[in-house]
Amino acid sequence: MNDFIKSTAEFIQAADDFIWGLPMLVLLLGVGIFLTVNLKLLQVFHLPNAIKLLFTPHKEHHSKKGDVTSFAALCTALAATIGTGNIVGVATAVGIGGPGALFWMFVAAFFGMATKYAECLLAVKFREQDSRGHFVGGPMFYIRNGIGSSHPKTAKILAVMFAVFGIVAGCMGIGTYTQINSVVEAANQLSFDRLYVTIIITILTIIITYGGLRTISKTAQKVVPFMGIIYIITCVLVILLNLEKIPESLYLIISSAFAPTQAIGGFAGATIMMAMQKGVARGIFSNEAGLGSAPIAAASAKTNSPVEQGLISMTGTFIDTIIICMLTGLTLVITGAWTSDKTGVAMTTLAFQGALGNEIGLYVVNICLILFAFTTIIGWNFYAERCVIFLFGVKGIRPFKILYILLVASYILIVLFVDMNNVAENTAINAIWTIADIANGLMAFPNLVALFMLRKVIFEETRKFFSGKKGCSELQN
């Protein structure tokens, strides 16, 4: 049995290496760089405007089209993006790719901000209303409505590809098993039984997801700011307690991005390509820029301006990766935890414990991880559901919800299987994360192609908005 699992894991890893190889890295960074140049460093010069829009209350929301406020839409997107990638994913990237992975994670996030702006702009411009009167959108809709008139066959293929891969990612990748695994393992670190925790997570998932978008967004609005602020404060505290090590750590991160990292302690060593691949892949896993997931939430926002929503959504990548992931990574390097034989959440816990003490470090990391991962579960339920609506209409919602809940509950079988067969747990966990990476990569391809094909729409809407002219806010159906 273990031989079968080992060979399967090797096959999955080979598929991941192919999908996240040089072509995908070039495509992701290439589109981000292309958009950054043509939008004239919008993520730098208009970030203050974006943050101002984020925290400016709009009393006229009732007169705008949409289902939830722009802030609620962003919180829903952040609920899905601020997850295990910020704690486990960063530790995994550094554990395999070395400190240099953090540099490439930052680079991917910087250019990813332009990508996130562009895809969320398109989501609002080309969104539709379903048969219930709810606003739906995302890559599958802006592919069909934006590209369909000039390239109908290409649009149909790309839109269906994205919707199918989005469902796979939600059900088998980033939305379920990786998050549940992290919740269960974090709870286990706090001495809770893994089986009971999985049952509780399943029950909570049923309650929140059956409440629909408004319940999900209300939950996100309450939990996301709280968990983000607590985690950021704790990371900053760890860094302040190791201030003298900051220059050395920053030098190590930058130098390791352009030179092989030698083996040290529990770290096996890494090539430049490993650092780049893990940094970009885990960065995209965390902030989802280019994947096309955040536009699905953005399409529900109460706004008449695609550009304004694009700017607000862009802050999601800034918050998720440039702030939270970078703080996690710096704590790992500055405390030396990256050279230990620990992996994933255990590595991050070690970094916090070294600075804050065993009890405080253990509880802060694992409680934050539980909150991060659970909000991602409910956020990706929403994303995948919208993909189902695109393919099958609203009649597909109920069967999908049942399937999603069954998949969440099925993690019980994984827990029992690993325990009963003495399977090397790291092998099983790594396979789960690799499958999630594969699903993400498959989603990114049709979305990035669509962004390039719709580049003129992005640039024209942006030009009209910043020149004071009112662009066409939404597709007239």
Mean pLDDT for all residues in the chain: 82
Q: Would you say residue 469 has pLDDT above 60? A: no
Cβ–Cβ < 8 Å for 105, 121 = no
Closest C-alpha among 314, 260, 297, 277 to residue 49: 314
Is 107 or 274 the better-scoring residue by pLDDT?
107
Give the span between the Cα atoms of 419 and 396, in whole angstroms: 35
Confidence class for position 428, pLDDT limits 50, 70, 90 = low
Q: Which has the minimum average pLDDT: 70-84, 101-115, 199-213, 223-237?
A: 70-84
- Read off the pLDDT band of 439 (50, 70, 90): confident
Which tops the pLDDT comparison, 219 or 452?
452
Residue 115 or residue 472, greater confidence = 115
- Whether 89 shows a pLDDT value over 60: the answer reads yes
Of 464, 451, 473, which Cα lies nearest the Cα of 142? 451
Strands 128-129 and 135-136: antiparallel
464 vs 131, more confident: 464
Given this structure, which CATH class describes domain 2-458? Answer: mainly alpha
Structure tokens at 433: 């994360």
Using alpha carbons only, give the angle 290, 295, 298 rounded to the nearest 5 degrees.
145
Work out the angle between the directed axes of helices 22-38 and 455-466 (0-180°, nearest 10). Answer: 30
pLDDT band at 457 (very low <50, low <70, confident <90, very high): very high
Three-class SS state of 456 = helix
Kindly report the backbone phi and psi dihedral angles of residue 267, in degrees, each rounded to the nearest multiple of 5, phi listed first.
-90, 130
Task: Please provide the DSSP assignment of 301-348 as one string.
Answer: BS-S-HHHHHHHHHHHHIIIIIIIIHHHHHHHHHTTGGGSS--HHHHH
3-state helix, strand, coil in the chain (%, to 5): 80, 0, 20
Count of residues for the chain? Answer: 477
Residue located via tokens 């998720």: 320
Confidence of residue 460 (pLDDT cuts 50, 70, 90): very high
pLDDT tens-digit series, residues 228-271: 888 899 999 999 998 899 999 999 999 888 887 876 766 767 77
Domain ranges of the chain: 2-458
Using an 8 Å Cβ cutoff, are 253 and 103 in contact? yes
Share of the chain above pLDDT 90, in %: 26
% of the chain residues with pLDDT over 70: 87
Higher-pLDDT residue of 26 and 166 is: 166
Residues paired with residue 279 on neighbouring β-strands, in sequence order:
none
Nearest to 107 by CA among 42, 54, 47, 30: 30
* Amino acid of residue 137: G
Where do runs of H (alpha helix) occur along 138-211?
Answer: 139-147, 152-172, 177-189, 194-209
pLDDT tier at 473, thresholds 50, 70, 90? very low
- For residue 179, what are its two tokens? 């998050």
Query: Does the pLDDT at position 390 exceed 80?
Result: yes
